[in-house]
Amino acid sequence: MAKPKFEEIKQYILTQIESGEWAEDSRVPSENQLAELFNCSRMTARRALTELTESGVLERSQGLGTFVAGLKSQSSMMAIRNIADEIKDRGHGYSVQQVLLTQTVATGAIAIALGLEEGSQVFQSVLVHCEQGTPLQLEERFVNPKLVPEYLAQDFTKQTPHEYLSMVAPLTEAKHTIEAKMADVAQLALLEIAAVEPCLQITRRTWSRQGVVSFARLVHPGSRFRLGGHLTFS
């Protein structure tokens, strides 16, 4: 089956960037130029540019054009997406290392976050999500076993915790905080960074209709990651 034209355009743009032909901040061809090059409609070219912009590969400036975005991986501050999808949408390879999957005791902070009594049993997972083989996110997650009893039976090298939880306990509410931090010794090793590298940590609680499902700490090397968003005001 032939690949859709907008996918061909996306792959063309990604190839130009990956090869170094188009450097950071380089202007990319306009919708009209891409439509002519690929013998397609302007709307098709616009879709390709829009999807790459939404995934952080490109940046669009009103009246100036579309440009290659900074080389750091970017996630939205205002949306919760599956990290595997984010990486694949940038045209990059995704891989994951499952470091830990176990049952543990909820300490004060974890118990409070999950709305459980201190000392309650909870499930814990630790994964390293990689982009092009390089660690991008260290995910430490604590899960309420009453709401997700089969969590420990999953293979998170085949689907992310986000994908699994979205399926068995659909998200109805989320709250997150973002802060700068320095990684501890274990995090330095898992993220393969130097002790002087600052990190960005997202702390996130998620709810389903039945209550708090999980509490996660997502740690990213500062040199490889950034958060962005777009607001429109009437």
Q: How confident is the model at residue 74 (pLDDT cuts 50, 70, 90)?
A: low
Determine which helix (DSSP H) or strand (DSSP E) holds 48, and give its type and residue range. Answer: helix 42-54
The string of pLDDT tens digits covering residues 215-224 is: 999 999 999 8
**Residue 222 falls in which region: left (phi positive, over 0), alpha (psi -120 to 50) or beta:** alpha
Distances in Å between the Cα of 226 and the Cα atoms of 35, 71, 133, 195, 229 are 31, 10, 18, 19, 10
Q: What pLDDT is attached to residue 80?
A: 72
> Averaged over 26-43, what is the pLDDT?
93
Distances in Å between the Cα of 121 and the Cα atoms of 116, 125, 143, 217 are 9, 13, 10, 18
b (16+ CB within 10 A) / e for 159-190: ebbbebbbeebeeeeeeeeeeeeebeeebbeb
Above pLDDT 70, what percent of the chain? 92
Ordered by where they begin, the domains of the chain are 5-68 (1.10.10.10), 78-224 (3.40.1410.10)
The string of pLDDT tens digits covering residues 195-222 is: 999 999 999 999 998 899 999 999 999 9
The string of pLDDT tens digits covering residues 152-164 is: 999 999 999 999 9
Q: What pLDDT is attached to residue 136?
A: 95
Token pair of 217 as six digits? 């700490």
Q: What pLDDT is attached to residue 181?
A: 94
Q: How confident is the model at residue 63 (pLDDT cuts 50, 70, 90)?
A: confident
Q: What pLDDT is attached to residue 59?
A: 84
Sign of CA dihedral 36, 41, 47, 53: positive
Q: Which residue has the higher pLDDT, 145 or 75?
A: 145
For 155, the 3-state DSSP assignment is coil
Token pair of 87 as six digits? 């990486």
Q: What pLDDT is attached to residue 227?
A: 72
Above pLDDT 90, what percent of the chain? 61
CA pair distance 107, 121, nearest whole angstrom: 10
Hunting for tokens 């990689």 — which residue is that? 130
